Amino acid sequence: MLILASKSKARKKLLEALGVKFRVMPARVKEHADAVRHPARTVAANALLKARDAARRVKKGIVVGCDTLVWQDGRAFGKPASLKEARAMLKRLSHRPHVLYTGIAVIDAASGREMTEVEETRIEMEPLSDREIAQYFRKVSPLDKAGGFDVQGLGGSFIRRIRGCYFNVVGLPIARLRVMLKKFGVSLLLVLCGFAVNGCSTEYNLATHKEDTMMYSTEREVAIGDSLAAQVEKNYTVVQDPQMNERLDRVGAKVAQASDRHDLTYRFRIIEDPKDKDLVNAVSLPGGYIYIFKNLMTVADTDDELAAVVAHEVAHIVARHSIKRLQAIWGYNILTILAGATKNAEAAQGVQMAYAFLLSGYSQEDELTADGMGAIYAKRAGYNPQGMIEFLDKLRKRQKKEPPQALSYFKTHPGYGRRIRATKEALGENIDFDDFIDTL
């Protein structure tokens, strides 16, 4: 029997999701408070204190104790005591990288054998404004969360990059725990555990020229895309205009063929928001789905311009930006998306969260990468890559006349000058002084 010496809801939920049989026995100890000098030693010592407390109350069983703290610039952050403290804490953490330490202690209650280890994960967030923090706190209570936010929920949308174990940020570094328990003769290699922990593969991405650690095969990525696409088509009207669809399919097919990824089928569709028919935007989803808003088709009135927009979205799919963001933020929770077609309430909620998360836009870094890659793909496909510059110039002029909509191409992408530079750099062109001036 596995015994969890913690009352953490996140840790309990993680083990339940992995199908692990265990019981909860919260520790009743006073924790060490030496984190300012030794954060790693402190979490290890506290985890051992908790495990020992629970082990003394049972005759047999494998006891797991944990302790977590957030560390930034020589300061430790725990759970905020008030909303004022939570606001100050979250704002500070969002503006500079921080490290999350988790100590794990495993004890065999029968023999008294002990083992402790520490997992360390670096987190980088998008800088948050006071308004964004206030909006978040209206939906999520920060008082029971270390650092004031939940990485597996809405707080996950704040995170730009996680370096290390995602599960550590959720509350329990499963991979490290699995190795520790194995030394005690306990196996966590159950169906879901094997998928989430050992199912990752490392592959070289031809587009980004980097090693990517992927938790999902192309087949699973397409399944996730199917669920998200159903959500998009539920919320928007799919445009059936034969002429417009023929144009998009023709341009899309050429761009897709010129891209660096051919292990999936690209699907191009035109959609329209019944409540805002002037919306100009494009959206890409895992598995090859690309949606172009009807009004964008009108604004991009040359095939060169349309090809540039399509190539940008294809580049997101080639680089797997959406699937990497989802696996970095939600980890095992994304499994619920695969059952999105069922009537399971948790699955439906998972689809809704992922859908809203992806439509809120990629990181600035991902957008600029897609600009550079997209320019190359458009050129390979036989189109003039300057089409993107021409298209952006049109949108810049439109923006001067009216404010952008919530999901407009301006709202979810970097400034004009930065995008021009990214495009020119990818094409090996000279960068002018004007290109360093962001006019958006």
Residues with a known catalytic role: 67
3 state SS of 147:
helix
Alpha-carbon span 200 to 163, nearest angstrom: 15
Element (H, E) at 310: helix 303-318
Q: How far is CA 182 from the centre of its chain?
A: 30
Element (H, E) at 214: strand 210-214
CB 286 within 8 A of CB 319: no
Alpha-carbon span 438 to 418, nearest angstrom: 7
Give 188-201 as a DSSP string: ---HHHHHHHH--E
- Amino acid letter, residue 388: M
- Closest of 39, 42, 44, 4 to residue 20, by C-alpha: 4
Angle ∠(391,393,399) on CA atoms, nearest 5: 105
3 state SS of 374:
helix
Backbone torsions φ then ψ of 160, nearest 5 degrees = -90, -40
CB 80 within 8 A of CB 86: yes
CB 215 within 8 A of CB 329: no
CA torsion sign for 334, 337, 342, 344 is positive
State the SS3 of 40-89.
HHHHHHHHHHHHHHHHCCCCCCEEEEEEEEEEECCEEECCCCCHHHHHHH
Strands 289-293 vs 237-238: parallel, antiparallel or unpaired: unpaired
Alpha-carbon span 64 to 76, nearest angstrom: 23
Alpha-carbon span 171 to 331, nearest angstrom: 12
